[in-house]
Chains A and B, each alone.
Chain A
Amino acid sequence: MLTAIVVSDLRKTYDAVEAVRGISFAVRAGTTTALLGGNGAGKTTTLSMLLGVLTPTAGQITVLGEDMLRHRHRVLPRINFTSPYVDLPKRLTVGENLRVFADLYGVRRAPARIAAVAAECDLTALLARAYGGLSAGQRTRVSLAKALLNEPDVLLLDEPTASLDPDIGDRMRTYLEQYQRRTGCTMLLASHNMGEVERMCDDVIMLRAGRVVDQGSPQELLARYGREDMEQVFLDVARGRDAALRDEPAAGAGADGVAL
């Protein structure tokens, strides 16, 4: 199968802190892959480097066949993202924000595309409302609508449903699944919602202390760790119990098995 994202020996060091310590992975085109790990595991740092807003200390990133460190502007029109670490201008309306980003991504017939995305994300009634006046859940939907404006081939999602109630969260997951089936988009997802990961993801990359400590499909990981659900697998990895369960020395874990 074709790969949409290839990461090789990626490293990021801030002064004395090694946030990402030489990770390598590939994401198959048209699939959804989760980046899992506790706080500080390096998920957002990795996504930031994939997006080109954070310069790696070392390593290589190839997205859609382009070297992101040298030619990211060739591929950025075909990528998009959502992140809780950024926001949109609060005094602009939802429609105005979407128009600005439709233009930034060079979308032809922007008004029609905005209307379509707004309908898909249940935002039509909010288009004339100021973004700053929306609830956290509504803002998350606007952020997702922004990320879909250019119909990206690669979608990077950092906690995409974190602020959504179960109903809206489920709708957004359903929409993302339908969107992927329709467009063949590749998704890389950082999430702490293990139900979301089990439901949406074909592959999971487990990070701890800036290293990839395990990867495989959710089914493979459940079988490997002898667990019922991904939450238990997550806890095993986050607490450094993965090596014992896999009968290997723990990567990124101290001698007592506690994550560094």
Chain B
Amino acid sequence: MSAARRHIEQYGGSAAAALRVVALVRRHAYLLLKSWPRLLGMAYYPTVTMVLWAFVTIYLAPSSNVLKDAPGLFIGAVLLWDVLFRGQLGVSLTLVEELYSRNLGNLFVSPLTLPEYIAGQLVMSLLRTLIGVGGACLCAWLLFRYSIFTLGFPLIAFFANLLVFGWAIGLAVSGMLLRVGLGAEELAWAAIFLVAPVSGVYYPIGVLPGWLQAIAYLLPSAHVFEGMRAVLLAGTFPWHHFWSAAALNVGYLALGAALFALAVRHAREHGALLQMGE
């Protein structure tokens, strides 16, 4: 028991929990908003890739019936791919920043709970994705008069499914970073490319060998990109792909969160939370 005499007031309950998530977002927003190179860097890669594929489209369109029917196929694909990439990166880099700062110990001895920490990671991922992909979308419209918003409602469905899949991979990568340390930082940048060939970003899943198609359809991203092509080429929204992606995402997100939670538990058992850093 305590003999303390308190003079300050503290929030409690859900208000305190919400404030802790805001605190984590605030910590990373301070970092982002005061650094124009960081902000520019987030939009740089998606914009350059988008420009590249826009010129590929211009080059191939005269000889391609597919591109004649859907000139925005590649640009839409590259922008949506970047939702997945930025979504994953946004989660993983939030942890990388803490490791470089040696701040993880401060966070985990504070009242911040693991679900609140994860919620903060996800909010930061959403913000990073909106900034990065939003910049590329703006450039696509300014340079090529292509607006991804012409996809309409399906865009929201694609965006949400890719973002959540990115979160799941980001949480799993975060768990790996906690287990291995900053030596595995490269994973934060490269992990997502493992799913690129089987996601059918720029080509239909049907071109893959049969056994690889079976694997591809276990990934929400494959359903999203198949769905995108159906919208652009056939003008229909394939609900079965949407529901398949959503159902798979529930499983992947739970798995990603569980892997991260296991890594935190392992770090607590081995004293890594106070010691991890550069």
Contacts and interface: CB of A to CB of B under 8 A. Distances in A.
Contact of A153 (B2, B9, B19, B274): B2
B7 interface: yes
Contacts of B277: 87
Contacts of B268: 52-55
Contacts of A52: 108-109, 268
B274 A99 contact: no
Nearest to A186: B2
A103 B273 contact: no
A48 B271 contact: yes
A64 B103 contact: no
A85 B107 contact: no
B3 A2 contact: yes
A185 interface: yes
Contact of A87 (B35, B101, B271): B101
B240 interface: no
Interface string B1-18: 111111111111001100
A73 B181 CA distance: 26
Interface stretch (A76-84, A190-198, A228-236): A76-84
A29 B2 contact: yes
Given A3-B1, A89-B31, A154-B2, A107 B8 contact: yes
A48 B275 CA distance: 11
B109 A76 contact: yes
Interface in B161-176: none
Given A76-B109, A89-B97, A103-B26, A48 B8 contact: no
B264 to A, nearest CB: 10
A92 B31 CA distance: 7
Contacts of B109: 51-53, 76, 79-81
Q: Output the residue of A78, A80, A88, A106 with the most chain B CB within 10 A.
A: A106
Contacts of B65: none
Contact of B20 (A44, A55, A106, A109): A106
Interface in A124-177: 146, 150-151, 153-154
Contacts of B112: 104
A101 B27 CA distance: 9
B269 interface: yes
Contacts of A64: 1-2
A103 B1 contact: no
A71 to B, nearest CB: 12
A99 B1 contact: no
A105 B110 contact: yes
A4 interface: yes
Given A4-B1, A85-B105, A87-B277, A105 B111 contact: yes
A100 interface: yes
A45 to B, nearest CB: 7
Contacts of B102: 85-87
Contacts of B26: 99-100, 103
A212 to B, nearest CB: 20
B271 A45 contact: yes
Interface in B56-109: 97, 101-109
Nearest to B38: A91
Given A87-B106, A89-B27, A183-B4, 19 more contacts: A2-B3, A4-B2, A29-B4, A30-B3, A48-B274, A53-B105, A76-B110, A77-B10, A87-B103, A88-B101, A96-B27, A96-B30, A103-B23, A104-B24, A105-B111, A106-B111, A153-B4, A182-B5, A185-B4
Interface of A: 2-4, 14, 29-30, 44-45, 48, 51-55, 64-65, 73, 76-81, 83, 85-92, 96, 99-101, 103-109, 113, 146, 150-151, 153-154, 182-186
What are the 10 tightest A-B residue pairs by CB atom distance, in nearest-first order?
A103-B23, A86-B105, A153-B4, A106-B11, A106-B16, A87-B102, A30-B3, A29-B3, A108-B9, A106-B10
